[in-house]
Every structure is written in C-alpha cells, then in structure tokens.
C-alpha cells in the first residue's frame, strides 16, 4: 500500500529525475492513463535502471492492462534486484516488505508470508531498542496489515499517532491504512484530524488530503461523501483536471450523468487534448444513449491519438463500431470493426506478449460475426495466461469464449466457460448473464432465471 501523498506532491524542479517520473506515473494512473504511466516508469528506469521500486510499479501497471506475461517478467526482475540488495543488507526491512509484495503478486504466498515475517522481526527488534521509533511502529503496522493481523496493525498505528500527535502525515498514513482494514468511519476521522493539522496556508496539501479521503470513500462506495470530499479538494485546487476527472467518475456512480458530463467538459476545457477523458466522455454518452454525440467524441479521440499508438487506435475504432451498431449504421460499424481488426493484428505483431491485445482481437472478430476465429483467439489467450490475480484477462477471455460458443450454438461448452469465469470472479455480471442465456438455450428454465436475476442484481447492462 503506497501513500498517494508520496507521489502527488509538487514535482517542481524534478524534471528529468527518477522522482519526477515516479510522481508523473502515479498522476497518470489516477487519470486512468495506464499506458502513459508505463512510459513514465520506463523514463525513470532510463535514469535509474536498477530501481526496484519503479520496476514493481511498472509490473503492477502491466498487469492492469492485461500484459500479464510482461508483468510477471518485470516482477521477477525486481525480485532479483531485491535479493541482491538483501545480500548486502539483510536488515533492510523495506526491501523485505517489497520482496514480500512481489512474491505475493507472483502467487508465491508462503514465501511472501516468510518475507513479511522477516520484516516484522526487524521492526520489532528496532522497537525493542527504541520504543519511540515512530517509523518502525508504522512499518510494523504495514507488515501486520499485509499478514492479515488487523487488530495488531491497528494498535501499532494508534501507537504511531500517540508518538507524533501533531504530525499530520502520520494521521494521514493511519487514515489510508485503517480504510484498508475496513473501518472507514475511523479512517474518515483520521483524515479529518490530518487535514486539521495541515497549515491553513498550504492549500495544495489540504487539497491533496481531501482528494485522498475522497478516494478511500469511493473505494468504500460511499459516493455522496466522496463527492463532498473531492468538491472540497477542487475548491482549494480548481485547476486539477485529475480530480475533475475523479469527480466525473463519482457522479457517474451516483447516476448523475448530466453533471458527470459537465465535469468531463471541465476536464476537457482545462486539458482539451486529454484523450482518456474524451474516451470516458464518449463511453458516458453511449451509456446515456447519445450515440451520435459519442461517435463525434470517438472521432475526436482518433484525431488525438498518434498513428504510432496502434493499440489505442484499435480500441477506439472498436468502440466507435459498437456505437454505430447501436443506431443501425451497420455498414459503417462493420467498416469500423474491420479497421479495428487490422490495427489489432498490427499491434499484436508489435507486442506479441500483450494478452489484452489478443483478447480484444477476439472481441472484434466476434463483432464481425467470425465466431470460430474469435473462439480460437480466446483459447490462445487462456492457454498463454499465467493466471495472476486479479485474473482480469482470464475472466474477460472466458466471457468472450462463452459468447462465441453460444453464437455457435455450443451451449454446454459455453456454460462451462461462464462457470469458470464465475469461479474466478463471482461478481461478474456479464458471466452470470451469459450463463443464464446458455441455460435458457439448454432448456434449464429455473437455473436460467436464477442466473439472469443474479446478473441484474450485479448491474448487468447489455
């Protein structure tokens, strides 16, 4: 768990330094620009190739966009660097923590727990020597949190704030972690305490604290309170397109789509070439069934994306084709899907290890009615996947496989694919809906009704 505050402090004077690119990468992730965040990590690694911290962040981002094989390789590289660091200094508790996290990401859970226990041993030893060592109490709490020892972690954070009751950064860190434990009410109190201790004239820091509070409230799905917190952040820093983007997303969760659209317009007024916000706006317009307006937004995105960015172009043509289909412009939709397919073919050649590209190629083939070819691609994705949590690419591929099999009237096999997707992601509304349709085709009316009801409860939208 990495503090938002660490990354989003001012980067003035950091240009062309590792710290600057750290900061830039995290800002980009908050804006949903994961590909650009990976680029920022690569820039940092040009400056400092042996920085295990950057490698871990890059691995996380690669996993998010479905490049699971590249993610695993990057984690392994970071693990090698961490082992070298620990050979030189076995008492580096931070390195043990990072190693534990990397091992956990690689599904090596027993080794991960052992590394966390080693870090805990070091922190405990430091506290024995100096019971007022606040950093060690915080480190101890972090480790206990990752080991699932919630109550002990909580106690350690309480001790940290007792030792430094006027240090807003300690309260801030406690707030972040307590929200992770699940006690959002106490987390909010800790955020409010941190904010009260930040100097009144430090508007940027106060704005960032409110934004962090908003994020944790959003994670707890307390959307109204998240909106209130991000509004306070924007009062202090109205020129933050990142948090206008966050506000728009929060309003979407609340179903206040007209206001969300206005918030995206504010983002785009500040950053008119923000392709990601144009993409979110286009998606919102589709949700609002404003298909003609969404097509105009997709056309704008196509103008903004560089010709060399084959992956983004392919995805945008796919989305445009879907919107065109919605309003019955079948010929134009087919042309858009064909353009998307050509670009995905090219992108796959450029990045053969990117399973997300292959998965999207499968979806494009499905939209073109080429179901056998689509099924073949999905099987290739599932065969190549290392199955790393949270299984995003695997679930999507299994859902796509099920859809292709249903289109081919192979409903028993489709049902198997949907069940496998649900085993990995029980809250997948698409998998439950597909399962229900397959069961209905097989004459299992009772089961179908239950599955489709579950899909509706999970928020399925066609």
Give the 3-state secondary structure of residue 414: helix
Average the pLDDT over 230-253 and give the result. 93
Confidence of residue 456 (pLDDT cuts 50, 70, 90): very high
Mean pLDDT of the region 213-223: 93
Quick check: 393 and 356 in contact, CB under 8 A?
A: yes
Task: Identify the sign of the CA torsion 272, 277, 279, 284.
Answer: negative
Distance CA 59, CA 56 (A): 5
| Percent of the chain whose pLDDT exceeds 90 | 68
Contact between 347 and 310 under an 8 Å Cβ cutoff? The reply is yes
385 or 32, which is more confident? 385
- Per residue in 272-299, is it b (16+ CB within 10 Å) or e — as a string? eebbbbbbbbbbbbbeeebbebbbebbe
3-state secondary structure of 351: coil
Q: Within 223-350, where are the H helices?
A: 223-236, 241-253, 257-270, 275-287, 291-304, 310-326, 330-350
pLDDT band, very low/low/confident/very high, at 80 (cuts 50, 70, 90): very high
Instruction: State the pTM of this model.
Output: 0.68
Cα Rg for the chain, rounded, in angstroms? Answer: 24
DSSP 117: H
Is the per-residue pLDDT at 150 higher than 70? yes
Alpha carbon distances (Å) from 138 to 101, 155, 189: 17, 10, 18
Structure tokens, 232: 């306070």
Backbone angles phi, psi at 211, to 5 degrees: -65, -40
Name the token pair of 347: 């992108």
Tens-place pLDDT, residues 283-300? 999 999 999 999 999 999
Q: Which of 174-178, 187-191, 301-305, 428-432 has the lowest mean pLDDT?
A: 174-178
pLDDT confidence of residue 15? 54
Which tokens go with 138?
Answer: 């915080």
Q: What is the DSSP letter of 164?
A: S
What end-to-end distance do the CA atoms of the chain give, in Å? Answer: 35
- pLDDT mean across residues, the chain: 90
> Is residue 11's pLDDT more than 70?
no
Work out the pLDDT band at 363, boundaries 50, 70, 90: very high
Instruction: Look at residue 281 in the predicted model and tell me its pLDDT.
Output: 95
What domains can be seen in the chain, in order of their start residue? 6-88 (1.25.40.10)
Confidence band of 31 (pLDDT split at 50, 70, 90): low
Q: Supply 79's token pair.
A: 């693990």
Sign of torsion, CA 177 160 6 8? positive
Determine if residue 16 is left, alpha or beta; phi over 0 gives left, psi from -120 to 50 gives alpha, anything else beta. Answer: left
Q: Is the pLDDT of residue 76 over 80?
A: yes
Across 137-163, average pLDDT: 89
Crossing angle for the helix pair 134-146 and 168-181, to the nearest 10 degrees: 10
Examine the pLDDT at 313 and tell me if it is beyond 80: yes
Structure confidence at residue 3 (pLDDT)? 38
Residue 6 has pLDDT above 50, yes or no: no
Cα–Cα distance, 435 to 415 (Å, whole number):
6
Residue range 421-434, pLDDT digits in tens: 999 999 999 999 99
- pLDDT for position 14: 41
Average pLDDT over residues 5-32: 60
Q: Kindly report, residue by residue over 254-277, the tens digit of the pLDDT.
A: 999 999 999 999 999 988 888 888
Q: Which residue has the higher pLDDT, 179 or 397?
A: 397
pLDDT digits (tens, 9 = 90+) for 188-217: 999 999 999 999 999 989 999 999 999 999
Q: What is the pLDDT of residues 370-408, one digit of tens each?
A: 999 999 999 999 999 888 877 889 999 999 999 999 999
């Amino acid at each position: 768990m990495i503090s938002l505050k660490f990354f989003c402090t001012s980067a003035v004077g950091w240009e062309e330094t590792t710290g600057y690119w750290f900061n830039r990468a995290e800002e980009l992730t908050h804006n949903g620009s994961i590909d650009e965040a990976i680029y920022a990590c690569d820039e940092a690694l040009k400056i400092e190739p042996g920085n295990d911290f950057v490698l871990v962040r890059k691995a996380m981002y690669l996993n998010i966009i479905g490049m699971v094989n590249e993610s695993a390789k990057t984690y392994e590289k970071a693990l090698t660097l961490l082992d070298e660091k620990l050979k030189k200094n076995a008492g580096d508790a931070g390195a043990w923590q990072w190693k534990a996290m990397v091992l956990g990401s690689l599904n090596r859970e027993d080794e991960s727990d052992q590394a966390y226990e080693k870090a805990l041993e070091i922190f405990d030893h430091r506290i024995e020597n100096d019971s007022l060592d606040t950093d060690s109490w915080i480190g101890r709490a972090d480790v206990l949190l990752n080991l699932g020892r919630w109550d002990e972690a909580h106690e350690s954070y309480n001790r940290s704030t007792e030792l430094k009751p006027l240090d807003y950064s300690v309260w801030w860190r406690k707030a972040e972690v307590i929200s992770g434990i699940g006690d959002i009410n106490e987390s909010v109190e800790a955020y409010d305490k941190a904010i009260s201790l930040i100097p009144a004239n430090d508007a940027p820091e106060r704005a960032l604290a409110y934004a962090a509070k908003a994020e944790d409230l959003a994670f707890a799905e307390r959307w109204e309170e998240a909106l209130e917190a991000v509004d306070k952040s924007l009062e202090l820093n109205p020129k933050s397109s990142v948090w206008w983007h966050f506000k728009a997303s929060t309003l979407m969760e609340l179903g206040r789509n007209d206001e969300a659209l206005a918030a995206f317009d504010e983002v785009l007024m500040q950053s008119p070439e923000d392709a990601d916000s144009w993409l979110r706006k286009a998606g919102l317009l589709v949700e609002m069934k404003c298909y003609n307006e969404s097509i105009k937004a997709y056309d704008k995105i196509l103008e903004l994306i560089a010709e060399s960015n084959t992956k983004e172009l392919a995805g945008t043509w796919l989305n445009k084709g879907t919107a065109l289909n919605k309003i019955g412009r079948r010929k134009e939709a087919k042309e858009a899907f064909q353009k998307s397919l050509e670009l995905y073919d090219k992108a796959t050649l450029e990045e053969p290890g990117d399973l997300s590209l292959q998965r999207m190629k499968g979806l494009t083939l499905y939209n073109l009615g080429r179901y056998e070819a689509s099924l073949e691609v999905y099987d290739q994705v599932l065969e190549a996947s290392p199955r790393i949590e949270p299984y995003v690419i695997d679930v999507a591929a299994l859902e796509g496989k099920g859809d292709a099999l249903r289109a081919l009237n192979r409903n028993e096999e489709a049902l198997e694919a949907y069940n496998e997707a649900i085993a990995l992601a029980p809250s997948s509304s698409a998998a439950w809906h597909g399962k229900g349709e397959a069961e209905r085709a097989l004459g299992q009316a009772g089961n179908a009704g239950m599955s489709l009801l579950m899909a509706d409860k999970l928020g399925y939208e066609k």
